[in-house]
């Protein structure tokens, strides 16, 4: 003899709320990275990928060095500074660059001396 929700004359049995699926920090980070790049102009993204395509296969360097190469070759600044790392992460996810396992200190003061991974272009 159970009580059914339809027999709830006094409103004691409230329907259960669906459980929210909590996102992990990594998932939130990935969504933010994707959102930043999605909001960037197609022109900037094309310039970023064209400049990367001009690097020789086997090129070794940091994302910071690549950013300096882009700036030196006239690529305009993106709408948000996270577009640089978002574009770099996209290249890594697609296997176009791989970590060498080495790291070096940045030359830019804005990086606050955080070590940068050294990458190698694979394709």
Assign domain 24-121 to a CATH class: mainly alpha
pLDDT of residue 58: 92
Confidence of residue 98 (pLDDT cuts 50, 70, 90): very high
Tell if the pTM clears 0.75, that is, is over it. Answer: no
What confidence tens digit (pLDDT) does each residue in 2-36 have? 555 566 677 777 777 777 888 888 888 888 888 88
Choice between 109 and 20, residue whose per-residue pLDDT is larger? 20
3-state SS, one letter per residue, for the chain:
CCCCHHHCCCCCCCCCCCCCCCCCHHHHHHHHHHHHHHCCCHHHHHHHHHHHHHCCCCCEECHHHHHHHHHHCCCCCCCCCHHHHHHHHHHHHCCCEEEEEEEECCCCHHHCCCCEEEEEECC
Query: For 95-104, what is the mean pLDDT?
Result: 91
Annotated domain spans of the chain = 24-121
């Amino acid at each position: 003899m159970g009580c059914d929700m339809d027999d709830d004359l006094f409103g004691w049995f409230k329907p259960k709320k669906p459980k929210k699926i909590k996102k992990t920090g990594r998932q939130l980070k990935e969504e933010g990275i994707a959102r930043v790049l999605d909001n960037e102009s197609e022109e900037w993204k094309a310039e970023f990928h064209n400049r990367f395509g001009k690097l020789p296969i086997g090129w070794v360097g940091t994302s910071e060095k690549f950013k300096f190469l882009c700036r030196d070759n006239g690529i305009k600044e993106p709408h948000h500074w996270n577009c640089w790392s978002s574009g770099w992460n996209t290249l890594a996810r697609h296997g176009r660059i791989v970590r060498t396992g080495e790291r070096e200190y940045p030359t830019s003061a804005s990086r606050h001396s955080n070590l940068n991974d050294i990458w190698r272009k694979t394709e």
